[in-house]
Chains A and B, each alone.
Chain A
Amino acid sequence: MIDRYKWYEIVLMYAGMAVFLFFVLAPFIEGFLVSLKPLSQLFSTPYSFIPKNGSFDAYFQMWTSVPMLGMHIFNSFFISSVVTLIVVVIVVPAAYAFARFQFAGSGLMLGGFLAVNMFSGAVLLIPLFRLMRQLGLLNTYWAMIVPGAAFLIPSSIWLLRTYMMRIPRELDEAAWVDGASRLYTLRRVILPLAMPGIVVVAIMTFIGAYAQQFIFALTFNSRTEFMPLPVGLFAFFGKQEVQWNELMAASFVGILPVMIVIVFLQRYLVAGLTAGAVKQ
């Protein structure tokens, strides 16, 4: 920085940061502490923030209270993974087409994809429900995967297109001069160079797919064995006396793998956001 911060400015900034982070992290801290408390302590007054006789018991009990918990966690990962795969396979060629070619209606189509972003799955739920019923997909994984992917494709196209436009055109042209076909150029020249961008799209899609699992899964699937974690927990804990410590424990187990992946890949993520979002 050009000029140094004065000491009180630094104090002020750390104080601001502390308040900001408290707001962001409070539910997680509280959720984690709750998962350590025995149930009796949760329902006693006065309220205590720090668990007394804290233990990891809830992390063991939850597997028997929610018999399908393992299945729910697996479902969440399975659904998000398949959505990510579909989105990447569809988006890579589309983004390349928009990044390199101008053809009749290309601008309109690009705008059309952007417009899809504006409609949420919740608005289109009724016809999607009918469509899923007609296709016989209700109560299958596909009823959650197919609509889930649709709403993640457009933003991914935009992001990857921006990324691909930064790869110099001369590289494609050189490959053509050397006699490579267009498809070969895409596969052997562009794909490797676009890999960091594709990784970002994949991570963002995975997070997005995991996040939007609620409404489609709630509406298009009523079978416990296909429920992803959020809906599985919602359905289970809606029915009976909520075992809050176990609910929190199950939540943490379900999100831990995502968090670990993100911590390792956060460098790509911030870079990707900078590349894609701002330059749009």
Chain B
Amino acid sequence: MTGTRSASLFALALLAPALIYILIIVAYPLFDTIVLSFTNAALRPTYDFVGWANYQRIFGAGNFTEVILRTFIWTFFSVATKMIIGTLGATLLNAAIPGQTLFRILTMPPWIVPMAIGIFMWGWMYNGQFGMISGLLQNFGIISKPWPILAQGNSAFWATIVTDVWIGVPMVTIYLLAAMQSIPKDLYEAAWTDGAGRFYRFRRITLPLMLPAMLTMSLLSLIATFNSFDIIWILTQGGPSGSTTTMIIDTYKTAMGSRKYGEGAARAVVICIFVSIFCIVYFRAVRKLSQGEAK
């Protein structure tokens, strides 16, 4: 049924809408970003090619490398925390205890609720004067003065990470739960008959068989977190004094705030290069794992 010419044409016809759509809305803009990054495009309608000037400027400015470093630290802590909480969460949700279904449903809200709305709620919780976190800490006498979490660089940085973790955890948990449930039950039964304890079974059966799913999830999560915009923009808009400015926020400020399209595009290209590196790693890992499965 495959391989004949009419079948190929039929398949291409089915694919055409998706292909054209993605070419116009994703591939062309990607190409345009690269072209723009070599120009001095701004608000005015005409612009010239300026070679590597944008790249020289952003890397010469000094704070761009700082932004890159901050983005990596932000991403690393967010993804690592998501994976740890997600694995623990999946293990708990997988346990055969009463209330399991209810717990599973209750895990999902941060993922289902429109992101921005969950972030509004965190914005209130972080409120220094009257928010829940500062308020409860004061009530319990842990701190004596209101704590303006988002107004101080250090706490704002970690606060945006906590919110990012909160939004990402349900997806990681449910994905890992699904992977955990696809592990054949008889493996556990066989190990149990041989007298293996619960922790031993977890370490020797669950973890190794979960590894592909965990790798996939951490890479997907890495890419999503690296590109995360809404959380920081709604909570701090990159502030205070740049302490939460990641690469995406920096690009947005340059392009949409200052209307320096060329310079913004150069920043976007740097992001794309990093994302492509993640991408290559991801494809390699997937290929390696699928070969491993075939053996």
Contacts and interface: CB of A to CB of B under 8 A. Distances in A.
Given A47-B130, A150-B21, A26 B125 contact: yes
Contacts of B99: 17
A106 interface: yes
Interface centre among A25, A98, A234 (most CB of B within 10 A): A234
Interface stretch (B49-57, B69-77, B150-158, B169-177): B169-177
A2 B192 CA distance: 7
B285 interface: no
A146 B25 CA distance: 8
Contacts of B110: 24, 27
Interface in B1-23: 1-3, 7-8, 10-12, 14-15, 17-19, 21-22
A150 B26 contact: yes
A25 B106 contact: yes
B248 A210 contact: no
A109 interface: yes
A170 B95 CA distance: 39
Given A1-B96, A213-B116, A255-B114, A270 B178 contact: yes
Contact of A125 (B134, B192, B252): B252
Nearest to A269: B108
B22 A150 contact: yes
Interface residues of B, number: 103
A151 B120 contact: no
Contacts of A38: none
Contact of B103 (A17, A115, A237, A273): A17
Contacts, number: 290
B211 interface: no
A149 B216 contact: no
A20 B88 contact: yes
Nearest to B32: A127
Given A43-B130, A207-B112, A214-B230, A101 B8 contact: yes
A116 B114 contact: no
Nearest to B95: A13
Contacts of A17: 92, 99, 103
A215 interface: yes
B175 A273 contact: yes
Interface stretch (A59-67, A89-97, A193-201): A89-97
Contact of B229 (A20, A25, A215): A215
Q: Which range holds the interface residue count of chain A?
A: 35 or more
Interface string B92-104: 1001110100011
Interface in A45-104: 45-47, 49, 76, 89-91, 93-94, 96-98, 100-104
Interface in B225-272: 227, 229-230, 233-234, 248, 251-252, 255-256, 261, 264-265, 268, 271-272
A184 to B, nearest CB: 12
Contact of A119 (B18, B234, B275): B275
A34 B127 CA distance: 13
17 contacts: A1-B96, A20-B88, A23-B166, A47-B134, A47-B138, A93-B15, A100-B11, A122-B251, A126-B32, A126-B261, A127-B32, A131-B32, A230-B117, A234-B234, A247-B124, A251-B117, A251-B120
Given A13-B92, A106-B11, A211-B114, 20 more contacts: A23-B166, A24-B107, A25-B109, A30-B124, A91-B18, A97-B15, A101-B10, A103-B7, A123-B275, A128-B29, A130-B261, A182-B10, A207-B111, A215-B229, A230-B114, A230-B115, A254-B114, A258-B113, A266-B108, A270-B174
